[in-house]
Amino acid sequence: MSGGRITALKPAPFGYSAPASLAEALAVLAEVGEHAKVLAGGQSLLPLLSMRLAAPRHLVDINRVPGLDRVEIVDGSVRVGALVRHTDLERHEGAAAAQPLLRQALRLVGHPTIRNRGTCVGSIAHADPAAELPGVLVVLGGRVEASTAWGSRQVPAAEFFLSPLETALRPGELATSVSFPVAGPRTGTAFVELSRRRGDYALVGVAAVVELAPDTSISSARVGLVSVGPTPLLVDLSEVLVGRPGGARELAAAAALALEHAEPEADIHASAQYRARLVEVLTTRALAQALANASHEEAA
Amino acid sequence: MSTAMFGAPVRRHEDARLLTGAGRYLDDLGHRALAAAFVRSPHAHARVSDIDVTAAAEVDGVVAIFTYEDLTGRMAEPLPLLIPHPALHAPRTAYPLARGEVNHVGEPVVMVVARDRYLAEDAAARVVVSYDPLPAVVGLPAARSARHAVHPDVPDNVAAHLVQAVGEVDTAIAAAPHVLELDLEIERSASTPLEGKGVYARWNSDEGSLRVYTSTQASTSVRAAVAAKLGLPLVKVDCIAPDVGGGFGVKIVHPWPEEVLVAWAAQRLAALAPEGIKWTEDRWEHFVSSAHERGQLQHVRVGFDSDGRLLGLDVTIWHDNGAYTPYGIIVPIITSTQLLGPYKPGAYRCEFFSLYTNTVIVTPYRGAGRPQGVFAMERTMDAIADHLGLDRAEVRAVNFIAAEEMPYDQGLIFQDGRPLIYDSGDFAATLDKLKALVGWSDFQAYREQARAAGRRVGIGLACYVEGTGVGPYEGGHVQVETSGKVMVATGLTSQGQGHQTVLAQIVADELGVDFDDVEVTTGDTRRFGYAVGTFASRAAVMSGNAVALAARKVRQKALRIAGEALEADPSDLEIVSGVVRVKGAPASAIPLSTVAVLSNPLRYAFDEAAKAATQFAVGDTSKPPVAEDDEPGLEARDFYSPTQSTFANGMHAVIVETDPDTAEVRVLRYCVVHDCGPLINPMIVEGQVHGGVAQGVAGALYERMVYDDAGQLLNASFMDFLMPYASEIPTVEIDHLETPSPLNPLGIKGAGEAGVIPGSAVIASAIEDAEGFVIRRMPISPSELFELRASYAAGRVPGLRRTSGERTDPRTRPGHSPDNDSPDNDSPDKET
């Protein structure tokens, strides 16, 4: 949002509905379609409205819709409903055990007051390329459930993020849940980021997932990079790491490979060269932590 | 001093109210008022060719729309130049609404009044202003080049030019054994109080009077300015600063355009706005239409001897004053005088150019030019130490003014137009305390140990002297009510500092009453009409002494009246916990509440106690009920007006760690030794230091104003303007030295700004020490430190002698004499 020219800190007029059921919410969305914005936690939407950077004609407040606030571990995934707050998921022991990367990333999302209101699905639907959870969804290969009055579809992470603040959600669709695959055996994860202030969007963030073979060599490794491209980037590092123990030189090669895929740009907070350096440093750190966690899993 | 509140870490009176949401800030008032919104310039520099309000006027709920053409009388004149100065040869101030030209993004052009703020903003969005853009002058290099002018009649962009000199600096430097030159740069930041500005004005048609609430640091002066602009008698205007959510300098500027416009519109639209008109500044408005500070370029030329003793110091400063100069040139004057800190500079010459740019105006922000001056001096001290291979603390110490040299005349004219004479301080003692606190002497070993473990750590220090308690005066009124409660008023305002507490502590002691019986009002012209304002770390010194003097008068009167009642000599009386009693005979006593009753001879008894003061109760019929030189009531007011400022001082040391890979800077320790004289309330002083340090760290590592070449402020939100959170601020370790000022009855010196002053200087010192190359520009971000490392590696940034192995202590170098050290004179330390 750097450099946006603001003209007021009061929202433009908008219509407002607060449906009491999912069916009602979907019916309203079907009616107002592209002119609608969904209000869940409001942590990104309300500032945009106040700055008049967004002026939707209609807000559909889903906070009264029952059944969207559940965290479930089903079919090999952690399924997170559209009203699950960051804090709820962060503190969910079952989710943390099933997929440690969630808690690792969530503790870096904003501040406690933001996490108390902001929703995980909202953060993903907002699709800020610097946000943590989109990176998590991409690196884990999760999916988004998009619902309409006529049914729902599952959108894979790889197809969900189109460009900054733009997703594959269609007018009239509501992201009712996201699903994060649970971690496999001998798998370690880590989320490492550097932000100027604690809780800020990252200058660069790296989500890493490393799986070990029974002989403790690396069987797969990938990272999700945030804040170095228009969408969170998935980089498969298997070609330089599979079959290897993950020593310093190998991690450096993996970091270099990650950087090849990154598109660091300059902004008022960091030069492109600095961001590029951070991709390497933070990828190395994230992989090392993920490896350590995988080894810990192995030992456990 | 029966209660001994002075010096006690009393919990703040204010906190229960403020911390439980019971504060009354500007936006908590006037819920039924109409709302004002402003159309502001989107251009840094443009002519306004046309304003079309047709579509805006059609918005439902719009009451009025005003442009410059609508302004009447003195409202159509430029806003006042608050502090003229002979060196400010080309002052310019804005009109309340732009008159044909805008000079920064955010300058108000049109005012809309509507039923609520949302409607006002909707209408403002429909106002069509046609602009013919002009070239924007952004940044000091552009201002200096004068390729374009901000104001056409100031073609060189120079608003002010001032030279102050003591001794023959060129001669002194020419004769010096060593000479260094430094080019320094410090960027803009801003006060950014959490509550922005705001004003709520209500015209009383029945009385023909105006009441103005404004979030200000100077309510008496806003009152005077509004009365003048509106042509009203002063007595028909009240001005009240309600709870103010921080000021830090920006709210000392007045009248802001909105203050006079809202007041003017409230009178003009009285029939349509019986509940008045309110404007609450939003965050974006605050960034682009209030004030910034700090931006300067500096060139230092210094001559010194082989002990690091200053022989001649020649400083040139280019100061960015933004688009207008309503607050004069206070900031660069303070920079150029307070730069000297605790040192004797030898010969000194300081020249500054205050330059116009098409950016937000520059007015004092906590520290008010001192952080820049300290940056110049302390960078110079470090450069001298490194050049000579001497300990940085040692070089400072050889230049200190000695305690026995106080008062010490620096030979310059300070911001108040009076001589710069330090009244007190023991700098050597302060430095000793600081070295002990931070472990200065042990750091070398720690650094080497850390380095062996792959860590980069560095230590830095910086010293400052701060003129505080600047005049001309403040006053206080103390009244003992017949309930025994003591009502105190002073005209200056509070922005959360704790004045209610500190002034109550002083009055409780002076009068001999319980702290809880003292109630203090600040910033309300209905209670006290004469005041200057809250700035320059002056409230405790000025109003503290004023209320002390007023309380002493009340005490004298109370003792006299009680003496008559008790048939005792007043000198035999004491006041303890609100009771006047005969020393050594506490049974012979009379409560102050009764004394208050007796002080006011009555015809009518309104309650039991009042009967004691009626005409048939009060004795001697040969005397008039109120003596010729007396007044009814147990109250008094007095003023404190010092001949000069009092000078606090302090020294900070920090230890930082810089990440070898990410170039993040972490402050491991932040140590402060501070001398503001006797502490009235140590807890409040430490809180002030903590807050100041937070803003110092902010200015060193986080905050800046990022303008693009077109004059757009790119980070006008708290998302991109990186005001640090508590999580970014280190624990502050504090030690105090209390050398009293001889200048005022309480011996106190100001403490409000101290914490912020050496922030950039001390952190630059420590980063430089950790990294081994020179730091000449602050603030510094990890990205910038990363780029600097690359420049250093490429040989474009000079390394420190002490780390690049060039350690050459000339005192020990064989064959050294000053004469053959001439390369110094030819190899100035170049800009980085």
Distance CA B254, CA B81 (A): 10
Q: What confidence tier does B226 reach under pLDDT thresholds 50, 70, 90? A: very high
pLDDT computed for residue A3 by the predictor: 37
* CA–CA min distance B490, chain A (Å): 36
Q: Do A1 and B722 touch (CB under 8 A)?
A: no
Q: What confidence tier does B610 reach under pLDDT thresholds 50, 70, 90? A: confident
Which DSSP string do the residues of B250-274 spell out, in sequence order? GGGS---HHHHHHHHHHHHTTTT-T
Which among B720, B723, B729 is the top mutation candidate for probing chain A, defined by the most A β-carbons within 10 Å of its own β-carbon?
B720
φ, ψ of residue B467 in degrees (nearest 5): -70, 120
**Chain A residues close to B127, C-beta within 8 Å:** none
Q: Which residue of A has its CA nearest to B105?
A: A5
How long, in residues, is chain A?
300
**Chain B residues close to A5, C-beta within 8 Å:** 42, 712
pLDDT at B3 over 60: no
pLDDT computed for residue B182 by the predictor: 98
A46 CB near a chain B CB, below 8 Å? no
Q: Which residues of A42-61 are buried (b: 16+ CB within 10 A; e: fewer)?
A: bbbbebbbbbbebebebbbb
Cβ contact B733:B693 at 8 Å: no
H helix intervals, chain A: 22-32, 45-50, 86-90, 93-98, 100-106, 112-117, 120-126, 132-140, 157-160, 238-241, 248-261, 272-299
Distance CA A220, CA A238 (A): 5
pLDDT computed for residue B614 by the predictor: 79
pLDDT in tens, B346-389: 999 999 999 999 999 999 999 999 999 999 999 999 999 999 99
pLDDT computed for residue B320 by the predictor: 98
Q: Which residue of A has its CA nearest to B713?
A: A3
Distance CA B259, CA B243 (A): 17
Cα distances from B228 to residues B77, B198, B201, B211, in angstroms, run 11, 20, 15, 14
pLDDT in tens, B457-507: 999 999 999 999 998 999 999 999 999 999 999 999 999 999 999 999 999
Q: Where are the domains of chain B?
A: 32-134+197-280, 369-469+644-825, 472-640
**Chain B residues close to A11, C-beta within 8 Å:** 118
3-state secondary structure of A175: strand
Q: Do B720 and A2 touch (CB under 8 A)?
A: yes
Q: Do A197 and B787 touch (CB under 8 A)?
A: no
* CA–CA min distance B670, chain A (Å): 18
pLDDT (tens digit, 0 to 9) for every residue of chain A, 300 residues total?
A: 333 445 567 898 999 999 999 999 999 999 998 889 999 999 999 999 998 888 999 999 999 999 999 999 999 999 999 999 999 999 999 999 999 999 999 999 999 999 999 999 999 999 999 999 999 999 999 999 999 999 999 999 999 999 999 999 999 999 999 999 999 999 999 999 999 999 999 999 999 999 999 999 999 999 999 999 999 999 999 999 999 998 999 999 999 999 999 999 999 999 999 999 999 999 999 999 999 999 887 666
Q: Do A194 and B664 touch (CB under 8 A)?
A: yes
Q: Which residue of B has its CA nearest to A198?
A: B727
Q: How far is CA A24 from the centre of its chain?
A: 28
Which among A1, A9, A114, A251 is the top mutation candidate for probing chain B, defined by the most B β-carbons within 10 Å of its own β-carbon?
A9
3-state secondary structure of B550: helix
In the predicted model, what is the mean pLDDT of residues B300-319?
98
The helix or strand, by DSSP H or E, that contains position A218, with its residue range, turns out to be: strand A218-226
Which among B783, B785, B786 is the top mutation candidate for probing chain A, defined by the most A β-carbons within 10 Å of its own β-carbon?
B783
Top CATH class of B32-134+197-280 equals alpha beta
Identical topology for domains B32-134+197-280 and B472-640? no
- Please indicate whether residue B826 or residue B117 has the higher confidence score (pLDDT): B117
Q: What confidence tier does B624 reach under pLDDT thresholds 50, 70, 90? A: confident
Distance CA B456, CA A103 (A): 31
Distance CA B750, CA B737 (A): 13
The amino acid that residue B454 corresponds to is G
A52 CB near a chain B CB, below 8 Å? yes
Among residues B288, B318, B259, B329, which one has the least CA distance to residue B81? B329
Candidate from B396-400, B604-608, B780-784, B811-815 with smallest mean pLDDT:
B811-815
Distance CA B226, CA B261 (A): 9
Which DSSP string do the residues of B608-620 spell out, in sequence order? TGGGGGBTTTS--
Distance CA B280, CA B686 (A): 31
Question: Tokens 């890493």 belong to which residue?
Answer: A208
pLDDT in tens, B59-78: 999 999 999 999 999 999 99
pLDDT at B604 over 90: no
Q: Domain spanning B472-640 has what CATH number? A: 3.30.365.10
Q: Residue B661 is nearest to which of A5, A203, A281, comparing CB atoms? A: A281
pLDDT computed for residue B602 by the predictor: 87
Within 10 angstroms of residue B584's Cβ, the number of other Cβ atoms is 8
Structural domains for chain A: 15-61 (3.30.43.10), 71-181 (3.30.465.10), 187-299 (3.30.390.50)
The residues facing A223 across adjacent strands are A208, A235
Q: Do A274 and B714 touch (CB under 8 A)?
A: no
pLDDT computed for residue B121 by the predictor: 94
pLDDT at B655 over 60: yes
Candidate from A137-151, B82-96, B288-302, B795-809 with smallest mean pLDDT:
B795-809
Cβ contacts below 8 Å, chain A against chain B, sum to 92
**Chain A residues close to B124, C-beta within 8 Å:** 7-8
Question: Tokens 């410059």 belong to which residue?
Answer: B68
pLDDT computed for residue A7 by the predictor: 58
**Chain A residues close to B783, C-beta within 8 Å:** 203, 269-271, 274
Q: Do B781 and A273 touch (CB under 8 A)?
A: no
Q: Which residue of A has its CA nearest to B701?
A: A196
Q: Do B727 and A197 touch (CB under 8 A)?
A: yes
* CA–CA min distance A244, chain B (Å): 25
* CA–CA min distance A10, chain B (Å): 6
Q: Residue B125 is nearest to which of A7, A269, A282, comparing CB atoms? A: A7
Q: H/E/C letters for each residue in B225-240? A: HHHHHHCCCHHHEEEE
Cβ contact B126:B100 at 8 Å: no
The amino acid that residue B432 corresponds to is D
The dihedral through the CA atoms of B337, B343, B349, B354 has a sign that is negative
In the predicted model, what is the mean pLDDT of residues B244-248?
96
Distance CA B785, CA B725 (A): 21
Q: Do B720 and A1 touch (CB under 8 A)?
A: yes
Q: Do B787 and A271 touch (CB under 8 A)?
A: yes
pLDDT at B809 over 50: no
In the predicted model, what is the mean pLDDT of residues B536-546?
94
**Chain A residues close to B712, C-beta within 8 Å:** 3, 5
Distance CA B298, CA B317 (A): 4
3-state secondary structure of B635: strand
Looking at residue B395, the DSSP 8-state letter turns out to be H
Distance CA A152, CA A146 (A): 5
Q: Which residue of B has its CA nearest to A201?
A: B719
Cβ contact A282:B798 at 8 Å: no
Q: Which residue of A has its CA nearest to B780?
A: A269
Q: Do A197 and B724 touch (CB under 8 A)?
A: yes
Distance CA B778, CA B670 (A): 18
Distance CA A237, CA A253 (A): 9
**Chain B residues close to A288, C-beta within 8 Å:** none
Q: Residue A2 is nearest to which of B715, B725, B781, comparing CB atoms? A: B715
Q: What confidence tier does B27 reach under pLDDT thresholds 50, 70, 90? A: very high
**Chain A residues close to B284, C-beta within 8 Å:** 6, 8-9, 51
How long, in residues, is chain B?
832
Cα distances from B47 to residues A293, B50, B134, B151, in angstroms, run 63, 9, 7, 12
Q: Residue A277 is nearest to which of B715, B781, B786, comparing CB atoms? A: B786
Alpha-carbon dihedral angle through residues B170, B176, B180, B186, given to the nearest 10 degrees: -50
pLDDT computed for residue B825 by the predictor: 45
A14 CB near a chain B CB, below 8 Å? no
* CA–CA min distance B661, chain A (Å): 7
* CA–CA min distance A247, chain B (Å): 18
pLDDT in tens, B692-751: 999 999 999 999 999 999 999 999 999 999 999 999 999 999 999 999 999 999 999 999
Q: How far is CA B86 from the centre of its chain?
A: 23
In the predicted model, what is the mean pLDDT of residues B524-546?
95
Cβ contact B763:B700 at 8 Å: yes
Distance CA A7, CA B108 (A): 12
* CA–CA min distance B139, chain A (Å): 16
In the predicted model, what is the mean pLDDT of residues B25-45?
97
Q: What confidence tier does B824 reach under pLDDT thresholds 50, 70, 90? A: very low
Q: Domain spanning B369-469+644-825 has what CATH number? A: 3.30.365.10
Q: Which residues contact B6 (CB under 8 A, 6 or more apart)?
A: B505, B506, B509, B678, B680, B746
Which among B40, B119, B662 is the top mutation candidate for probing chain A, defined by the most A β-carbons within 10 Å of its own β-carbon?
B662
Cβ contact B358:B137 at 8 Å: yes
Among residues B46, B47, B42, B51, which one has the least CA distance to residue B129? B51
**Chain A residues close to B661, C-beta within 8 Å:** 277, 281
Which DSSP string do the residues of B691-716 spell out, in sequence order? HHHHHHHHHHHT----B-TTS-BTT-
In the predicted model, what is the mean pLDDT of residues B540-559?
96
Q: Do B702 and A196 touch (CB under 8 A)?
A: yes
